[in-house]
Structure 1
Amino acid sequence: MRIAFVSMYTEQRRADGATRRMRRVAEHLAARDHDVSVLCAKWWEGDVPAFEQHDVNYVAVTETPSATTFASKLPFALRRVDPDVIHATNSPPGQVTGAKAGARFLRVPVVVDWWAEREGDSRGACKRAARGAKRVVTPSQMVKTTVREYGAPEEAVRVVPESIDFDLVREADTDDRADILYSRHLDEHANVESFFLALAELRDRDWHAAVVGDGPERAEAEQTAADLRIDDRVDFLGELPPEEFVPIMKGAHVFAQTAAVEPFATDLLWALAAGCVGIVEYQAYSSAHELVVNAERGARVTSPQELADEITAAAGYSQETVNDAFASFDHDDVIRRYEDVYADAVEEYGFF
């Protein structure tokens, strides 16, 4: 199948949850012998209009990111690629409108992959992006609710979660340097202070914690740990690739999820698959609780005190290093769900 991804921003230029998801899906589809192109703002050096990386063909629609110019030029770029299906990310929403214009000429369906709105995405533009697509894919039920509020019909929306390398989880060694873990990009939504407040309630107990991740709020997080006088029992490990953080998750007993904003809690998923007891502090703009709602080794809390209580209660669970209940989140299984969405969209489009 010829698949054209539409995303003005790519991970090579702007790394966030949406661009990481798009790149991973594109590369896994290419590995399954699909013909995959990404129509984007140019991010590579030189005068060539296209650039191939990991079997994915990146096609420059514009030289630099400009939402208006990108949307206006997109239909012409799509005609040159001539895809069977168009996979457009939701932000900026104008690129979805441009993708739909190109799709009408090519007589192919548009699948919108909705992660989150970015600053500057107007509600009106988001409504236009959500409506009229053959399929809208979301990473969680929480994001699905948002898309439905923008006007996407129920029957058009499919939840396709983030994915992990479950073979890596099975095969990785175990590193028992920490009992309790937190892992996330340390930005303004990380809310790592809730984690530290819970740990401070447990000063009289024997534990060692680790924080995996880096970001603009790391220094403040380190200061908070020092202010609470727990910094000698918390290691800040920085950003780690899966090959390095999975062994640490397999060795830990508890993973705490406290972030205030999370379209999908990928680090929590890794930890649950690696046998951790997952404890989620409920947040209005986080979908993390969805991963533990029916999990045997999981709990939801609403405050640092409750988090501390559940960390204590987690001692009643056995130590495990693999949880097969999360095997369906493996990369191959999730990519097949994308392929099913494309096939359904193409088949349905053929009826009209």
Structure 2
Amino acid sequence: MRIAFVSFETAHHRDTETNQRFRTVCEILAENGHDVHCYCAGFWAGEDATFERNGITYHAVSSGLEARSSFLLRLPFVLAAARPDVIHASAEPASQVVAAKWGARLARAPLVLEWYGDGGVTETRWTRAAARRPDRIVTPSSLVTTWVRELGADGDLVEPVPNPIDCDRIQAVEPAEQVDVIYARRLDEGANLESLLLALAELRGRDWQATVVGDGPERDTYERLASDLRIEDRVTFAGDLDLEERIAAYRGAHVFAQTADHCVFPTEMLWALAAGCVGLVEYHVDSSAHELVEGWDRGFRTTSETELVEAILAARDLEHREYDDRFADYDRSVVAERYRDLYRTVRDEYGVL
């Protein structure tokens, strides 16, 4: 299937969660044999109109990010000339969705919209218009689905598809040393690591070790807090680790704690749960992390520091695992199949033979 992805800005321009998600979708579909083209602002050196990487052909619709107006004006005609089977656009910026819809009409192809929502979903004239334009909207979670429906999107046309993981890769990595609790996230103002540190401090009379993976502007603050709570000898701040190192750490850990204030999809938590960790989630209204553990006997959802402490204690009674096949449905190959089935459905509904 020939798929035209539309994203004015890509992960090659700016490494955000939204752009990472869009690149991942492109890559998993290319891995599964689809003809994948991404129409974007140019980011490569030289005057070539196209650039290929990881099975994806990038097309420069404009010369760079400073030429957004040119991108929006040219996009419908470029898409019409491409004659794709499906057009799949990012919701950011929302103005490109309207241009992509015109391109879809000219190309006589259905439009799928990828709405990740990492920066939140703000109601504007453009986002309201974007919510009503596509033939299908894909979100990472029920949380973002709710946000998009509040903009006026037809709920029957919104489908949550999770971020993928690689289950074979998890099983191929040797576990690191065992620890009781692990936390992984960029340590910024939304990390809310203090919730976990305060809960662990309540258990200082018991035997435990914790690891914090990640770096960021608040790392020094959290290290000082651990010292003030007199648990600095129990908590290892490991800094940034590559994926192989993180998988090894998750396979060695017993509990993965997710306490961040904002999370549209808990990708690191998913890697950890598939690597055998017990899941411990502190509920927040702008986080979807609790969705991964609802109805699961190795998952805990908490709403207070007391419940967090009780959950850590209860998790100690569960067996240690190094892999959990419950999360095989999140594998890259399975997620790619979900997109393929979605494309076939919208093409059938659109009347494309």
Calculate the TM-score normalised by the size of structure 2: 0.95
CA distances 1:20-56 after superposition (whole Å, capped 9, x unpaired) = 1111111111111211111112222222222111111
Distance (whole Å) between structure 2 residues aligned to residue 328 and residue 166 of structure 1: 9
| AA matched with 1:190 | A
Change (3 A) 1:187 1:50: farther
1:45 aligns with 2:45: yes
- Report the Cα offset of residue 251 of structure 1: 0.9
Q: After alignment, is 320-329 or 112-121 more displaced?
A: 112-121
| Aligned-pair Cα RMSD in Å | 1.8
CA distances 1:286-322 after superposition (whole Å, capped 9, x unpaired) = 0000000011100100123321221111111011111
Distance (whole Å) between structure 2 residues aligned to residue 134 and residue 120 of structure 1: 19
1:111–1:133 CA contact under 8 A, matched in 2: yes
Q: Secondary structure, in 3 states, of the residue corresponding to 1:316?
A: coil
Q: Which residue of 1 aligns with 2:168?
A: 167
Identity, % of aligned positions: 47
Q: Secondary structure, in 3 states, of the residue corresponding to 1:253?
A: strand
1:186–1:215 CA contact under 8 A, matched in 2: yes
Q: Which runs of 4+ in 1 moved over 6 A?
A: none
| AA matched with 1:133 | P
CA distances 1:43-74 after superposition (whole Å, capped 9, x unpaired) = 22222222111111111122222544432222
Change (3 A) 1:227 1:8: farther
- Report the Cα offset of residue 190 of structure 1: 1.4
| AA matched with 2:22 | M
Change (3 A) 1:222 1:45: farther
For residues 215-226 of structure 1, what are the structure 2 equivalents within 5 Å?
215-226=216-227
Give unpaired runs (5+ residues) of structure 1: none
2:97–2:133 CA contact under 8 A, matched in 1: no
Distance (whole Å) between structure 2 residues aligned to residue 188 and residue 210 of structure 1: 19
| AA matched with 1:58 | Y
Q: Which residue of 2 aligns with 1:33?
A: 33
1:158 aligns with 2:163: no
Distance (whole Å) between structure 1 residues aligned to residue 229 and residue 12 of structure 2: 38
Aligned residues: 352
| AA matched with 1:45 | A
Q: Which residue of 1 aligns with 2:16?
A: 16
For residues 270-349 of structure 1, what are the structure 2 equivalents within 5 Å?
270-349=271-350
- Report the Cα offset of residue 347 of structure 1: 1.1
Distance (whole Å) between structure 2 residues aligned to residue 333 and residue 307 of structure 1: 33
- Report the Cα offset of residue 87 of structure 1: 0.7
Calculate the TM-score normalised by the size of structure 1: 0.95
Q: Which residue of 1 aligns with 2:248?
A: 247
Give unpaired runs (5+ residues) of structure 2: none
Change (3 A) 1:243 1:123: same
1:91–1:121 CA contact under 8 A, matched in 2: no
Change (3 A) 1:117 1:257: closer
Q: Which residue of 2 aligns with 1:125?
A: 126
For residues 96-115 of structure 1, what are the structure 2 equivalents within 5 Å?
96-115=97-116
